[in-house]
Structure 1
């Protein structure tokens, strides 16, 4: 193999290496952005849970109606509608009726 061919291969490898580095940096930035977004959503959900929990202490909330609402809204996605979902457990927790 000629020196020119080896130089060309080396140049292509260096170019590929640089592009892979750029892709890695972009992926890392996207992961960081997703992490921030997930933390944002989690913070909002926690704040809403806090407020609703306090409201539920002052206002009568029918647990069965809340569970029915959850099951109605998630029936199309539920594998087994007879099993409790995480949302149902959280509902019970917010209403102070943890099992």
Structure 2
């Protein structure tokens, strides 16, 4: 193998290595953005839960109606309707009626 062939191979290896580094940095940046977005959504949900918890303390809300509303809205996606969903558990928690 000639020196020029070895030089070309080394150049290609360096190019591939650089491109892999760029891809790694881009993936890391996207993960950071996704992490920030998830934290943003979680903060909004927590704020809404806080407000709803206080509203529930001031007005009477029927737990059965809330759970039925959740079941109606999620029926198409439910795998096992005999099992309570996470949403139902969260609603009961917000109503102060954990099972």
Residue matched to 1:60: 60
Give the whole-Å Cα distance in 2 for the aligned partners of 1:54 and 1:74: 25
Matches of 1:77 and 1:18 in 2, distance apart? Answer: 45
Matched residue SS, 1:81: coil
Q: TM-score, normalised by structure 2?
A: 0.98
CA distance in 1, matches of 2:32, 2:60: 42
The residue number in structure 2 matching 1:51 is 51
- In 1, the alpha carbon distance for the partners of 2:75 and 2:7 equals 62
Question: Which residue matches 1:20?
Answer: 20
For residue 80 of structure 1, give the secondary structure of its aligned residue in structure 2.
Answer: coil
Superposition RMSD in Å: 0.5
**1:18-71: CA deviation from partner (whole Å, max 9, x where unpaired):** 000000000000000000000000000000000001000111111111101111
Give the Cα separation in 2 of the matches to 1:74 and 1:20.
43
Deviation at 1:82, TM superposition (A): 1.2
So what's the TM-score if we normalise by structure 1?
Answer: 0.98
Superposed structure 1 runs of 4+ greater than 6 Å apart: none
Aligned length: 99
Matched, 1:81 2:81: yes
Q: Flag structure 1 segments of 5+ consecutive residues without an equivalent.
A: none
Unaligned runs of 5+ in 2: none
Using the alignment, how far apart are the partners of 1:67 and 1:98 within structure 2?
Answer: 12
